[in-house]
Amino acid sequence: MSRAKLDSIRAAGPAILPSLLQCDFGDLRSEVEQLTAAGARVLHLDVMDGHFVPNLTYGMPIVEGLRRHTNMPLDVHLMISDPMAYAKPMVDAGADLLTFHVEAVQDSVDVAGQIRDLGVGVGVAINPDTDFAKLDDCLDAVDMVLVMSVNAGFGGQSFNPVALDRLKSLKQRKPDLLLEIDGGIKVDTIGAAREAGCDLFVVGSAIFGQHDYETAINELTLAMNGSHPGAGGQT
């Protein structure tokens, strides 16, 4: 199994990744077609188990369904208590990058190595309230760090600016490491995240809550580049 899709994810950055949690699962083909036409280059899937986080979302069949409709890389965020129980099935279903939570495992280096052995990219995620030092051991073992700007699995949270400090620190320590942010990414927050060194921006309602996906992505892209009137900068 090739890790070529990881290279295409790297090449896409800086990139906006639509989070499919809010898409119309009754018409995946149409959603993928609209996102492709709007300029999306990577798709993000949030997998929740009802245990590590209180919500329950989709599993391998949705990943398989998406893979039938697109060749875009699939970035799968495992918000689950036992990521290795689902890692291989997710890869078999079509995932190209698997991200586990540092809070969910005892040995992050071992888990990262097992995922890498499956032939896909490997990422590690960290919640804003988790001790940042928990990442130290595994930074050399992963391709990407997902810095959460809200606590995983809970809706209605405000963007936590601690994520910006973490992005800056990671960019200084590991300039070649892919950096991703998830949670509250909108026109008024994406610019600051980009300035902090982020490469990949997971976006949900700011795309799927809009009538026109292309317009939404274009506005986010302008804000990411600091040229949108509603874009926020770092404070």
Mutual angle of helices 60-69 and 28-37, in 10-degree steps: 50
Please give the Cα distance from 105 to 124 (Å, whole number).
Answer: 11
Residue 46 annotated in active site: yes
Q: Does domain 4-224 have CATH number 3.40.50.360?
A: no
Residue ranges of the annotated binding site for substrate are: 19, 77, 153-156, 182-184, 204-205
Please give the Cα distance from 176 to 178 (Å, whole number).
Answer: 6
pLDDT digit string, tens, across residues 8-30 = 999 988 999 999 887 877 788 89
pTM of the shown model = 0.92
- From 46, 75, 96, 143, active-site residue: 46
Q: What are the structural domain ranges in the chain? A: 4-224
pLDDT digit string, tens, across residues 144-171 = 999 999 988 766 568 899 999 999 999 9
pLDDT at 50: 67
Please give the Cα distance from 17 to 166 (Å, whole number).
Answer: 20
pLDDT digit string, tens, across residues 45-101 = 999 876 767 676 777 888 898 899 999 999 999 999 899 999 999 999 999 999 999
Residue 182 annotated in active site: yes
Hey, how many other C-beta atoms are within 10 angstroms of the C-beta on 80? 22
Residue ranges of the annotated binding site for a divalent metal cation are: 44, 46, 77, 182
pLDDT at 224: 95
Residue ranges of the annotated binding site are: 19, 44, 46, 77, 153-156, 182-184, 204-205
- From 49, 143, 182, 199, active-site residue: 182
User: Is residue 35 pLDDT above 60, yes or no?
Assistant: yes
